[in-house]
Chains A and B, each alone.
Chain A
Amino acid sequence: MRKVLLHSALTFLAVLFILPFYWTFLSAVKSTAELYQFPPVFWPSEWHFENFAASWNKLPFNTFLWNSTVVVMLSTIGQLISSSLVAFGFARFRFPGRDALFILLLATMMIPWDVKMIPLYMEFNFLGWINTLKPLIVPAYFADAFFVFMLRQFIMTIPLEIDEAARMDGASNFDIYWRIHLPLMLPGLILVGTFHFMNAWNDYLGPLIFLNDQSQYTLTLGLALLKNPHDLDITAIAAITTLLCLPPLVLFFLAQRYIMDGAVGSAVKG
């Protein structure tokens, strides 16, 4: 009986969670008449899958997709390399002020993005990077405090003797990082990569601030262009939103095992 109640509650929560996604998808494939019908239609009489292509072609979404892909791929690579490298440094090297520096790094997590927004704009403006994709890519090459913290904890579960064995085998510090720790950190890296991918893919405020030219726009900005107050095309917005949800969803499903393992068990895995 208790199990039935538990499963019912979980099913209810799952439906509650999935409903907005389903509603968005429905809005993308409904006819205009059914879109505004009340009470709402949960199973359209006709499925207009052609709405996806039509919505995609309304604006240069191919360009937006390319820009988003460039930003996401390059920044994810940067994030993986820089965060793991910094984490390795904090986890494995002894140097004066290391702990203070690490606390300082963690403290940066408390600074809200809104506070950094204007100084960052000024900085990138000074560098001549405004209206380029660089402000969305380059910062990822300087590590993220949360990811550094997570990967450092992961590295600290790897016995120090493995480093020492590698050192005796003739490995340099970089060899130890590259050939030993990176492969062993794989679950952690997949976790970081997935989180960063989703952050970068869904980022709206960053592109909005740093990009002016439509040719540089990412998908999130392209989607926002559809929100024209004079011509609110709900079908197009729903169609593009549905498409935008797909890559993170696919990635999440692929990386699910690592994400659950990493998020729950990274502190105890060797």
Chain B
Amino acid sequence: MASVEISGLRKSFGALGVLKGIDLSIEDGEFICFLGPSGCGKSTLLRSIAGLETLGDGTIRLGERDITDLPSAKRDIAMVFQNYALYPHMDVRRNLSFGLALNGMKRDEINRRVEAAADILRIRELLARKPRQLSGGQRQRVAIGRAIVREPKLFLLDEPLSNLDAGLRVTMRAELAALHERLKTTMIYVTHDQVEAMTLADRVVVLDKGRVSQFGSPLELFYRPANLFVARFIGSPSMNLLEAEVQCMDGDLLLLGGPGLLRPVTAEIAADAMPEPGSSATIGIRPDQVEIVPEGEGHLKGLVQLVERLGVESHVHVKLSDGRDLLANVRGTHPVRVGEVVHLALPGAHIHVFDAEGQALPRRLDPETEALINQHRGRRVA
């Protein structure tokens, strides 16, 4: 096990900068997810840690060792590839033992490790099979087994569940979480699926255009997104964002007005971060916090354009009076109908405010949520 320290990491493909100065400090035994849209640099960052990419600048430390210039095999890192990358001509046993044999390990020790990994992953009966004789889930297990037998200090997993069907993905996700609990080895997991990141990770690195947009616990990203990118990216459906203007402050309360707002919206912000009155801002609120209220009590008014009834909840798509769209999630049995004019309230406790540069102003949260956000270690039951 080991911590990972990444500082000033830069990488370009020709003139195209892919990683633009990455600094990360990952603790020993953490499960970290790199999350971001396609092309954000998450796989390149993972491959850089693996030693599969030549770096432009920066350093990577694994524990006490600087591994920046070490070849992949010497880094004490194992990687699980997106398409498994099993050796097609070798049976499962040889796939698992290939690296160990190559490094001159004794036969007895190789067998011990292979069989231990096979037991952990329940693939003992598959040891004599070739990869083409395995299902997707079995191949995935073998790929993980190949990483386990090396007993590395760091596991890297590059979208390992993306080739599996939805049901198997959920099963494997739980198995991966259990595996991490069992091995307690530092793991870095790349995904573009926020559900995977939120459910698996102790902490999530959200990447945007080669930069770390936010690094925090899953709940921190959800309740306290650092900027507009994270606010839009985390949460499904996405956060509603409305342009606004700062009107005035009252202690920790910030009043915001703006086009289409029937009355000012109140937000609870740390007093030392209050913006100037008159400055532009963006109001953010998650769809499930928007409330349909009687006339006269709402902040916004709009026409219901579409109601998606999902059973437990209904997604109500509203066209606001100034032409903007807003989404409200209400209970599944709410009687709202298409074509109806609704009044919407934006409760101050759930309002996010972003300044003109798109950076979040620090929210006041209730102590319970605050505690949950900070509890990013040991979340799972073994």
Contacts and interface: CB of A to CB of B under 8 A. Distances in A.
B289 interface: no
Contacts of B89: 183-184
A231 B9 CA distance: 83
A167 B72 contact: yes
A164 interface: yes
Given A164-B52, A165-B79, A165-B146, A171 B85 contact: no
Contact of A168 (B73, B82, B86): B73
Contacts of B83: 159, 161
A270 B85 contact: no
Interface stretch (B95-103, B183-191, B315-323): B95-103
B50 interface: yes
A175 interface: yes
A267 interface: no
Contact of B98 (A159, A166, A184, A270): A166
A169 interface: yes
Contacts, number: 57
Nearest to B74: A170
A179 to B, nearest CB: 8
A164 B85 contact: yes
Contact of B102 (A161, A175, A184): A175
Contacts of A183: 89
B346 interface: no
B98 A162 contact: no
A164 B72 CA distance: 9
A164 B99 CA distance: 12
Nearest to B90: A183
- Interface centre among A166, A168, A183, A184, by most B CB within 10 Å? A168
A70 interface: no
A161 B50 CA distance: 12
Contacts of A164: 50, 52, 72, 79, 81, 85
A37 to B, nearest CB: 57
A212 to B, nearest CB: 46
B207 interface: no
B185 to A, nearest CB: 16
A168 B102 contact: no
Nearest to B47: A164
A180 interface: yes
B88 interface: yes
A171 B51 CA distance: 14
A3 B85 CA distance: 45
A175 B85 CA distance: 16
Contacts of A165: 79, 81, 85-87, 146
Nearest to B147: A168
Given A161-B82, A175-B102, A167 B87 contact: no
Range class of the B interface residue count: 20 to 34
B73 A167 contact: yes
Contact of A170 (B52, B73, B81): B73
B114 interface: no
Identify whether the interface residues of B are mostly helix, strand, loop, or mixed.
loop
Contacts of B292: none
B92 to A, nearest CB: 14
Given A159-B83, A161-B83, A175-B102, A169 B88 contact: no
Nearest to B75: A168
A214 B82 CA distance: 61
Nearest to A182: B89
Interface string A149-162: 00000000001011
A134 to B, nearest CB: 35
A3 B264 CA distance: 83
Interface in A184-235: 184
B306 to A, nearest CB: 42
Nearest to B82: A161
Contacts of B102: 169-171, 175
A166 to B, nearest CB: 7
A140 to B, nearest CB: 26
B269 interface: no
Contact of B87 (A162, A168, A170): A162
B73 A161 contact: no
B77 interface: yes
Given A161-B81, A175-B102, A168 B88 contact: no
A169 B50 contact: no
B78 interface: yes
Contact of A184 (B51, B73, B88): B88
A27 to B, nearest CB: 47
Contacts of B77: 168
A154 to B, nearest CB: 13
Contact of A180 (B51, B79, B87, B103): B87
Contacts of B82: 161
Nearest to A184: B89
- Interface centre among A167, A183, A270, by most B CB within 10 Å? A167
B87 A166 contact: yes
Interface of B: 50-52, 71-73, 77-79, 81-83, 85-89, 98-99, 102-103, 146, 150
30 contacts: A159-B83, A159-B85, A161-B85, A162-B86, A162-B87, A164-B72, A165-B79, A165-B81, A165-B85, A167-B71, A167-B72, A167-B73, A168-B51, A168-B52, A168-B72, A168-B73, A168-B78, A168-B79, A169-B99, A169-B102, A169-B146, A169-B150, A170-B99, A170-B103, A171-B73, A171-B102, A175-B102, A179-B98, A180-B87, A184-B88
Given A162-B87, A270-B88, 6 more contacts: A164-B50, A168-B52, A168-B72, A169-B146, A179-B98, A184-B88
Interface of A: 159, 161-162, 164-171, 175, 179-180, 183-184, 270
The 10 nearest A-B residue pairs measured at CB: A169-B99, A170-B73, A161-B85, A165-B85, A183-B89, A161-B81, A168-B72, A170-B102, A170-B103, A162-B85
